[in-house]
A and B are shown apart, each in its own frame.
Chain A
């Protein structure tokens, strides 16, 4: 899987130079790292489930990239991919995650009490707060590689776990293929519904196969906790609410994740995790915490300030439009979130968001009064 002839041994009858992809016009992490020699060395390997290097890199070959935006250009088909194709994935991970070394250890901290503050972001500026991550279920292959049988098993297990949650997490699961029109309309209005992936970054990796079989959405009755099943990862877990109480959002996030993990562990299918890479996800860019914690915040003046991008970089934050990745901002409202995923913990990353956004709101207020903000510009975090 996902495409023919990417994982059989017949092609080993051809010489390396005949099979090595033409990456001369490519600008992604995989293309920068995969030399012909490296390809020759790893091309005869397979993970236990049969995933090969050609499967890993297909998306990066088919999507040469953009001169300004550096995509990853490779995916994992299972947990073992990160081990079996170390020669390729370690340098990709290092390039993507600020020089993270193969010997580094990643810290996981989902203890929400370790977060300082975060409950007092000014709601006049901070419109909404959200934290998301992904989780992979041990013992199954990942979305680029899994078969219908596996995907359905993942769904079944996930639905069992998610519908057994209680308290503020009590909710309902909506399978994509049997959703009614009314339910679909409601989920779209709530901004919950995810669509069949159209991005070639995902479709070329085989993640949209058999759509919508085995895919669905669970959300709690309060509509503040949401789980996507079998989209780009086994699970995407989202906690969100209007306003600036990131502390509450993060608490719900941590508690919900822990409850879900307990249930999966009882079924002998815990989450994929190790002390070097943290949580294992499909895209190497989401390793570590897989966490993106962010807000929609009004910064019309600050966003046009000459130093805006510099400030974001120093705060270890990134900006996106309010439609998410690759969209533009509307009315001076930006999506501001942590830039890092691997090498720092969940608490540390959310702390950066909380502290950074608080500072930027103060800068915005200063600019409104016509005052300068130069003294407020922080050092590199």
Chain B
């Protein structure tokens, strides 16, 4: 039974023991690139050349890197759960992309996808994450919030602060590929763990299938409720199957710590509050994550993580930290300055509208967050946001006084 097999194998204690006795083969099965056991070969009636997708109108990372040769090499392979290349790339085939916005164009169906389809995923990861090379580099994980400095913003400008990430439960397939039973198991494991949270993290789970109208209204008013995905980027990857079975939302009583279950990832973990105390938001974030991890480990589970890719999530764009730390910040003068784009670029930040990704800014209020996910730790990324937002606020203040602003220097080149 592959799932319990991988759970036993991959528990850190077991790996420690096996390494100690010098036998790294079995432990390495899930960690070392070359030795992932393949699933049953794919039944195929047509040669790879007849199956190769037409990507001539496409602009996404998958289309850029999926050559006929790589397709031919990988098209007969499957992960132990039976996930295939065609399934991984379907979303990118169905969504050609936009000339200006380059989407990733593929997903992982399980942890092993990143190994079995490494010939395609590695170049995609490299392109998406500024040259990060999974076969040679290591990703740092650092959830020590005490290292953050200057993380309390001027609340005349910063309206709210938020940090989010995702976590996957090792041994269970990811949302594009999971069966109903697997998805329900994810829900059971996570909800069981969350029930163990205490004090400021004490909270409640609201299952999407059983929530009352009143509860639903409250969650909408709190801006917590997530909807069935309508974006074809997600639906073409199969993530909305069986909706709303085994989906739900957990939040603490104080409404500052929130977990989405079985949306685009097994879990999305969010810490947020009004105002500019990003440091406190990040402290709660780290504390909550570590608590949840401890609670699932007590029950024999763990998060998907490895030293090359950090935390494993459905979309390759969220590998590493999976972290997006951001603020809603009022920058009416700066928003009109043509140098804003360059300033953000050099600060390694991105802007979005206050509705989230693909929305427009309203009243000079932006959502500003980190661009990067992989190759830098959580602490590094949050500090980047802190430093960057402080800089933007300084610019706004200078513009208010009629003073000029400077475009900051670009950062040192990453990962070359």
> Residues of A with Cβ closer than 8 Å to B?
1-11, 13-15, 18-22, 49-50, 54, 58, 61-62, 147-150, 152-153, 177, 203-204, 208-211, 213
Measured in the bound complex, the distance between the Cα atoms of B42 and A1 in whole Å is 11
Kindly identify which residue among B43, B52, B87, B93 contacts A4, using a CB–CB cutoff of 8 Å: B87
Known contacts A150-B46, A153-B50; decide if A10 and B242 are in contact (CB<8 Å): no
Kindly identify which residue among A22, A62, A150, A210 contacts B209, using a CB–CB cutoff of 8 Å: A22
Q: A8-B81, A19-B180 are in contact. List 6 more A-B contacts (CB 8 A).
A: A1-B86, A4-B83, A5-B83, A20-B180, A177-B54, A204-B241
> Residues of B with Cβ closer than 8 Å to A?
1-3, 39-40, 43-47, 50-54, 57, 80-84, 86-87, 90, 93-94, 109, 173, 176-182, 184-185, 209, 235-236, 238, 240-243, 245
List chain B residues, Cβ under 8 A from A58: 241
List chain B residues, Cβ under 8 A from A208: 94
Q: Are B109 and A4 in contact (CB under 8 A)?
A: yes
Q: Are B184 and A3 in contact (CB under 8 A)?
A: no
Main secondary structure of the interface of A (DSSP, over half): loop
Q: Are A152 and B181 in contact (CB under 8 A)?
A: no
Measured in the bound complex, the distance between the Cα atoms of B40 and A20 in whole Å is 25
Residue of B nearest to A61 (CB): B242
Residue of A nearest to B56 (CB): A177
> Least Cβ distance of B316 to chain A in Å?
16
Q: Are A213 and B176 in contact (CB under 8 A)?
A: no
Kindly identify which residue among A62, A148, A177 contacts B241, using a CB–CB cutoff of 8 Å: A62
Measured in the bound complex, the distance between the Cα atoms of B182 and A54 in whole Å is 14
Known contacts A4-B109, A62-B242; decide if A18 and B82 are in contact (CB<8 Å): no
List chain B residues, Cβ under 8 A from A203: 235
Main secondary structure of the interface of B (DSSP, over half): loop
User: What are 25 inter-chain pairs, A to B, with CB distance below 8 A?
Assistant: A2-B238, A3-B176, A3-B177, A4-B82, A4-B173, A4-B177, A4-B178, A4-B238, A8-B82, A13-B1, A18-B180, A18-B185, A19-B179, A21-B245, A49-B43, A147-B45, A147-B86, A148-B50, A148-B51, A149-B51, A150-B46, A177-B54, A177-B57, A203-B235, A213-B53
Q: Are A153 and B46 in contact (CB under 8 A)?
A: yes
Q: Are B53 and A19 in contact (CB under 8 A)?
A: no
List chain B residues, Cβ under 8 A from A20: 180
Known contacts A3-B87, A10-B82, A210-B53; decide if A21 and B243 are in contact (CB<8 Å): no
List chain A residues, Cβ under 8 A from B90: 2, 209-210
List chain A residues, Cβ under 8 A from B238: 2-4
> Least Cβ distance of B169 to chain A in Å?
15
Q: Are B43 and A50 in contact (CB under 8 A)?
A: yes
Known contacts A11-B182, A13-B3, A21-B242; decide if A5 and B94 are in contact (CB<8 Å): no
> Least Cβ distance of B55 to chain A in Å?
10
List chain B residues, Cβ under 8 A from A209: 90, 93-94, 236
> Least Cβ distance of A208 to chain B in Å?
7
Measured in the bound complex, the distance between the Cα atoms of B2 and A6 in whole Å is 17
List chain A residues, Cβ under 8 A from B54: 177, 213
Measured in the bound complex, the distance between the Cα atoms of B242 and A344 in whole Å is 36
> Least Cβ distance of B328 to chain A in Å?
33
List chain A residues, Cβ under 8 A from B185: 18
> Least Cβ distance of A145 to chain B in Å?
12
Known contacts A14-B182, A203-B235; decide if A5 and B177 are in contact (CB<8 Å): yes
List chain A residues, Cβ under 8 A from B44: 147
Kindly identify which residue among A1, A61, A149, A177 contacts B46, using a CB–CB cutoff of 8 Å: A149
Measured in the bound complex, the distance between the Cα atoms of B243 and A147 in whole Å is 25
List chain A residues, Cβ under 8 A from B180: 18-21
Q: Are A147 and B51 in contact (CB under 8 A)?
A: yes
